[in-house]
Amino acid sequence: GDSVTQMEGPVTLSEEAFLTINCTYTATGYPSLFWYVQYPGEGLQLLLKATKADDKGSNKGFEATYRKETTSFHLEKGSVQVSDSAVYFCALSRYGGATNKLIFGTGTLLAVQP
């Protein structure tokens, strides 16, 4: 079945460091790919998405490119801030039938230190 694999956390970085969180997926067809972020004590917020191969999603300085050849959707940011500390979830949805449920990875905790 469909699945998402994320790198294990926690990831601890200093402010202004470069961030990469790896995400790979297994799915038939052409899923849409998402990154959601969960700040402490809050719900899930969409960070960015990409709906077809080679698309790049971007938001708030974060980027991820949909790579079909490597089935990957790695999250990157050039310079992280303390306020980026959160749990990041990679997810996919594959439209089929009457639903497009989201399948999530395990989440990666990012801790940014000043």
Partner 1 sequence: EPEVTQTPSHQVTQMGQEVILRCVPISNHLYFYWYRQILGQKVEFLVSFYNNEISEKSEIFDDQFSVERPDGSNFTLKIRSTKLEDSAMYFCASILLAGNTDTQYFGPGTRLTVL
Q: Across the beta sheet with 19-21, what order do the strands follow?
A: 19-21, 75-77, 62-65, 56-59
- Is the Cβ of residue 25 or residue 32 nearer to partner 1 in the bound state? 32
Amino acid at the residue 13: L
Quick note: the x/- pattern for partner 1 over 30-49, rule CB under 8 A, is xxx-x-x-----xxxxx--x
- Is the Cβ of residue 81 or residue 106 nearer to partner 1 in the bound state? 106
Q: CA geometry: angle at 80 spanning 79 and 85, to 5°?
A: 175
Determine the interface stretch with partner 1 among 15-23, 64-72, 76-84, 91-99 (rule: CB under 8 A): 91-99
- Is the Cβ of residue 91 or residue 112 nearer to partner 1 in the bound state? 91
Closest CA to 32 of 96, 94, 75, 89: 94
Q: Which residues of the shown chain bind partner 1 in the complex (CB under 8 A)? A: 30-32, 34, 36, 42-46, 49, 51, 89, 91, 93-95, 97-107
